[in-house]
Structure 1
Amino acid sequence: MNDDSSTPIVDELRTWIATAAPGARLPSTRTLVRQHEVSPLTVQKALRSLVALGLVETRPGVGSFVRAPRTSRPHDFGWQTAALGTPRRQIPAQSRALQPVRHDVIAFHSGYPDRGLLPERLVRSAFARMARTDAAVARPPSSGLPELQSWFAAELAAMTPASVSAPGPQDVIVVPGNQGGLTACLHALVGAGRPLVIESPTYWGAIHAAAQAGVQLVPIPSGPHGPDPDVLADTLARSGARAFYAQPTHANPTGARWSPQLADAVLATVRQHGAFLIEDDWASDFTLSGEATPVAARDDGGHVVHLRSLTKSVAPSVRVAAVTARGPAHERILTEVRAANMYVSGALQAVALDVVTQPGWRTHLRSMRRELADRRDLLAAAVGEHLPTAHLTAVPTGGLNLWVRLPDGTDAARLTSGCEAKGVLVAPGDEWFPAEPVGAHLRLNYSGPNPGAFVEGVRLIGATLDEIT
């Protein structure tokens, strides 16, 4: 709950409820207004918080009462065992990166930027303007709003050299977030039971999407500079795979950014094997130094299928992304998107378009990147000082994370639970490996809240590591 004028009321009533009998009546709204010298709206907000916590129940026209504990009885769901049968595929458990960020901890685990790094003013204004337009009630085209398709195409075209034919709006499919686009690509381009070459370590969401689609993962090692194209070529030939999923720009979790030479070599490899490169370009807005050109800007033969998301850079509430693909692959992906979602909310598309076409968007990106670079450097320095037995693989030139190799033999699960007991949330690296981990790692997010606590958080991680080793 946010720290506001209703907080003292909630705290006081929770203390009172702890000793009150079930069914006891709470003081009236008028009494609470007088005691706390606040408005009736503030009191109502406090009561709603208590209702949400399951401590209070309200009776319209009567009052608010301490909620009586309900007698629970065991439920028999055994019949579902026969109805469901054996699971056809094993989808991994939810990532620790999606665990809520609490205000009372130092959070390094989340995969999303802190609210203070988002263009909140632009987003709120865009929602207000959208509500006055037809986008609030109309059904958009299944491929996406034409204006938003044009924006995504123009972003990619701006980085395409003159010798390469740039994509057009007709090549763009707007999807409900990067995960939705990735799932559609795996269904359309790979299919159940067929192989997909994938970097290791890689984005945990890609591992989940592959499990959901029933795709067979064929991992290849990928270090701080990306994969070895010779290993990729050998793996494509050996596995018969016709698709390779990768993150050439600030990979999650390693932060790796492919050099132009590596991008050319990978592109040549997938062309030689008649394969697709599914390029997850989630971090293009988080480039902190240098230029990051998507591999898709080098290809006009339809080999690269490009995913670009706005969710993390605009707002988690605006789950809008795009898949850019050419040829028959475009139609197959669009068919999958239509089957799963029919269309993406026109309201969210309109908000996303409004934000990224405002003059303040570019100003926000410059400011956000400076802040992220400072946070990255602060966290990297803290790792060097307080985790001397760990190894920072590389200081990334973009993205949101540091990838830290722990000493051999470290029990990452014990480290994670020990850190949480000290009020520090971290994400163990195991879930970023599509096969067995090659060592113990931590992924530390430097875009989380309260950067002033980063040094203390890393110090506590170091203390915990000393305790368990």
Structure 2
Amino acid sequence: MHESSSVAELVKSLKGELDRYPEHGKLPSSRAMVERFKVSPVTVSRALAQLASEGLVVTRPGAGAFRAEPRTRPPEPGDTSWQEVALSVEGATGAVPRTVDASGVLVCLAAPAPGVIEFNSGYLHASLQPEQAMAAALARAGRRPGAWGRPPTDGLPELREWFARGIGGMITTAEVLVTAGAQSALTTALRAVAPPGAPVLVESPTYPGMLAIARAAGLRPVPVPVDRDGVRTELLEAAFKATGARAFICQPLFQNPTGAVLSAERRPEVLRIAREAGAFVIEDDYVRRLAHEDAGPLPRPLATDDHDGTVIHVCSLTKATSPSLRIGVLAARGPVLERMRAIQIVDSFFVPRPLQEATLELVGSPAWNRHLRQLAAELRKRRDTLTTALARHLPELSLPHIPSGGYHLWLRLPDGTDETALTSAALRAGVAVTPGRPYFSAESPAPHLRVCFAGVSGPGEITEGVRRLRTACDEVLR
């Protein structure tokens, strides 16, 4: 039985017995619970911690666990309808209203019900994460002198230097800021270069989390279409001229969701167009460490070809490790770096030092490169399993491009398909997929699905997931 389910069952059992004990009465010892319920001491500890967090028990070191005082009934909620006016006033002044919509992001963060195959996860399955290496790194980091002290606001110098070397080109340690993951870095970068109400150019389709960031900041995302060679530069140039935008956000490597790689011919064009427009390119290099075994040499980051401070580079270790290792960086030069540094200090002061120290221990260990090699092989195997299963069981779903990096495929559905109906039918069949509509900032040109292969347990679950998706398609597409 999984540890999490054992904890839940023990919590349920203990709640059912709490009425047996008087107020402040002592519960059985942890050892007695281990013997009675046939669980581990860790399970008992976690169950008691959950009961304590719910205010049902009180734990006293060295004394045990005791039933807490009964909670008083919470007061009736007040009338909060006045907030609708207060939160909407800014829209009446002509500025773009800030709409904070996390629905597109929650699709990748919400855990489906037990038994549902996660074709919608944006993170590695636990079996692909370097859990032992991360645990060992965290333990070593905790013993480092000063590990719990205040870090430099820009991040540990050794960690910034490691990232600078990884980016390459002219990037130096002084031009790197450590951030709490890529989402935080992108938020800081956008706030630094675009005032509320301004247009910002985005790839179409693009990552819903990027659209959410822009809209939450009161910006107006303007779509620029992408094909298999990346953003269409003639349309990018036209969009800059039409909007006067001062920023373009792109994913040149294994673009989300299409998997496209910006071609060698278009790379210098993107930089030229941005320079002539007096604009920044925010480069989200989010999955460079998720290249597949057959990827071959990867193109360098755009930042390595930039000499004038046009590119703001963002990268992170989260996708290649764990959702909870939220360590990323911003790399830039010139006044924009100072502005981003100030924004980050005001927002969060700094990234916790223990997490930075643990990251240094992880990437400096032999286990790191071994993990990346194993991950590249496993992702290729899963991708091939998924493409083979789709071709065999769902030939009516078009796959325009098979990427050699990343963790998902972008499927074109037959014209007229109701994405919402299909994703709902898929969930009823026991598989969670992501509809394509949230990836477009304007009208969607066609129905799509994004199907991820990194968040499942292995090839067997991929094959079963496609079988379930076939059942959903039979219901909706007939």
* Structure 2 length-normalised TM: 0.86
Deviation at 1:382, TM superposition (A): 1.4
1:309-328 equivalences under 5 Å are 309-328=316-335
Which among 225, 230, 235 is matched to residue 226 of structure 1? Answer: 230
Q: Distance in 2 between matches of 1:424 and 1:456?
A: 9
1-structure distance, mates of 2:322, 2:40: 31
One-letter amino acid matched to 1:453: E
Name the CA distance, whole Å, in 2 between partners of 1:316 and 1:222: 28
Aligned to 2:333, the other structure's residue is in SS state: coil
8 Å CA contact retained: 2:101, 2:216: no
> Is residue 202 from structure 1 mapped to residue 202 from structure 2 by the alignment?
no
1:213–1:467 CA distance, 2 compared to 1 (3 A): same
**Matching residue of 2:2:** 2
Cα distance in 2 between the residues matched to 1:7 and 1:173: 39
Could you tell me which amino acid in structure 2 is paired with residue 327 of structure 1?
G
Other structure's SS at 1:136 match: coil
After TM superposition, give the deviation of residue 8 of structure 1 in Å: 9.9
Q: Secondary structure at the match of 1:338?
A: helix
Spell out, residue by residue over 1:175-224, the C-alpha distance to the aligned partner (whole angstroms, 9 max, x if none): 11111111111111122111111101101111111112211211111123
CA distance 1:150–1:409, shift in 2 (3 Å): same
Q: Is the 8 A contact 1:9 1:43 kept in 2?
A: no
Q: Distance in 2 between matches of 1:431 and 1:350?
A: 36
Residue 171 of structure 1 deviates from its aligned partner by 0.9
Cα deviation digits, residues 391-432 of structure 1 (max 9, x gap):
112111101111111111211112112211222111111111
Quote the offset at 1:437 in angstroms: 1.7
Q: Which amino acid aligns with 2:325?
A: V
Matched, 1:457 2:465: yes
- How many residue pairs align between the two structures? 455
Indicate the SS of the match to 1:323: strand
Partner residue in 2 for 1:92: 101
Corresponding letter in the other structure for 1:340: D
Distance 1:33 1:269, change over 3 A: closer
Residues 223-281 of structure 1 show CA distances to partners (whole Å, capped at 9, x for unaligned) of 23212111111111111112111000011111111122221222222223222111000
Residue 163 of structure 1: aligned partner: none
* Letter in structure 2 aligned against 1:178: A
Whole-angstrom CA distance in 1 between matches of 2:310 and 2:253: 18
Aligned to 1:76: 79
Measured in 2, the distance between the counterparts of 1:70 and 1:385 equals 58
Query: Is 1:248–2:252 an aligned residue pair?
Result: yes
Contact 2:259 2:405 in 1 (8 A): yes
Offset at residue 108 of structure 1 (A): 0.7
Unaligned runs of 5+ in 2: 91-96
* Cα-to-partner distance string for 1:18-71 (whole Å, 9 max, x where unaligned): xx9x9466995677555545566655555666777x7x9447779779x99979
The residue type paired with residue 224 of structure 2 is I
In structure 2, the partner of 1:290 is 296
CA distance in 2, matches of 1:135, 1:317: 22
Q: Secondary structure at the match of 2:386?
A: helix
Find out whether 1:415 has 2:415 as its counterpart.
no
Question: Identity of counterpart residues, as a percentage?
Answer: 38
3-state SS in 2 of match to 1:392: coil
State the secondary structure of the residue aligned to 2:79.
Answer: coil
Shift of residue 328 of structure 1?
Answer: 1.6
Equivalences for residues 67-466 of structure 1 within 5 A? 75-86=78-89, 88-94=97-103, 95=105, 96-100=107-111, 103-157=114-168, 160=169, 166-288=170-292, 289-292=295-298, 293-451=300-458, 452-466=460-474
Q: Which runs of 5+ in 1 are unaligned?
A: 161-165
Q: Which residue identity is paired with 1:291?
A: P
- Give the partner amino acid of 1:93: A
Counterpart CA distance in 2 for 1:198 and 1:34 is 59
Contact persistence 1:9–1:36 (CA under 8 A): no
State the alpha-carbon separation in 1 of the partners of residues 5 and 81 from structure 2: 48
Distance in 2 between the 1:23 and 1:82 partners? 46
Q: Secondary structure at the match of 1:391?
A: coil
Query: Matched residues in 1 for 2:38 and 2:216: separation?
Result: 54
2:162 corresponds to which letter in structure 1? W
In 2, the alpha carbon distance for the partners of 1:400 and 1:176 equals 22
The verdict on how the C-alpha distance between 1:322 and 1:47 changes in structure 2, with shifts beyond 3 A counting, is closer
- Look up the SS of the partner of 1:443 in the other structure: strand
Structure 1 37/197 Cα, relative in aligned 2: closer, same or farther at 3 Å?
closer
Compared with structure 1, are the counterparts of its residues 70 and 445 closer, same or farther at alpha carbon in structure 2 (3 Å cutoff)? farther
Q: Secondary structure, in 3 states, of the residue corresponding to 2:445?
A: coil
The AA in structure 2 aligned to 1:232 is: L
Q: Give the CA deviation at 1:156.
A: 1.7
Alpha-carbon distance between aligned partners in 2 of 1:92 and 1:196, rounded to the nearest angstrom: 17
Distance 2:145 2:248 in 1: 40
| Change in 2 beyond 3 A, CA 1:48/1:137 | closer
SS across alignment from 1:312: coil
Distance 1:74 1:7 in 2: 32
What amino acid sits opposite 1:167 in the alignment?
A: I
1:314 aligned counterpart, secondary structure:
coil
SS of aligned partner of 1:109: coil
Letter in 1 for 2:79: D
